[in-house]
């Protein structure tokens, strides 16, 4: 069922940073944590559509650069008191290569 697509070597994403992936569904932000976990979210904050990829990553949370909503990388949910959700995409790491399903 799952259609994994090769994205990039892990080294192309900075630690505690992100890269933007072009897709038919719009831009997707792929994040890398300090522990080299990778996560992917639709690159639009549920608040006012700010590009989450441009935020600061800490732990498993990214802070939107527009109005500082905090979005959880694992499920795209905003942290309280804000309410909202960014769509998340499955990503995996295999032999230092990042894969994604769209």
Question: What minimum distance in Å lies between the beta carbon of 71 and another protein?
Answer: 11
Contacts to another protein by CB under 8 A: 5-8, 12, 14-17, 19-23, 27, 30, 34, 48-51, 54-59, 61, 63, 65-68, 70, 81, 100, 102
Nearer to another protein, 13 or 76 (CB): 13
Task: Quote the CA–CA distance of 73 and 59 in Å, as a whole number.
Answer: 9
Question: What minimum distance in Å lies between the beta carbon of 54 and another protein?
Answer: 4
Task: Let me know the angle formed at the C-alpha of 39 by 96 and 5, rounded to the nearest 5 degrees.
Answer: 60
Question: What minimum distance in Å lies between the beta carbon of 14 and another protein?
Answer: 6
Quick one: DSSP state of residue 85? B
Which residue from 66, 68, 62 is spatially nearest to 88, judged by alpha carbons? Answer: 62
| Paired residues of 93 in beta bridges | 98
């Amino acid at each position: 069922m799952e259609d994994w697509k090769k994205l990039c070597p892990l080294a192309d994403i900075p630690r505690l940073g992100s890269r933007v992936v072009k897709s038919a569904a719009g831009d997707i932000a792929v994040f890398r944590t300090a522990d080299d976990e990778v996560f992917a979210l639709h690159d639009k904050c549920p608040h006012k559509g700010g590009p989450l990829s441009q935020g600061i990553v800490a732990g498993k949370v990214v802070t939107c650069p527009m109005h500082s909503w905090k979005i959880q990388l694992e499920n795209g949910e905003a942290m309280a008191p804000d309410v909202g959700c960014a769509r998340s995409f499955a990503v995996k790491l295999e032999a230092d290569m990042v894969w994604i399903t769209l």
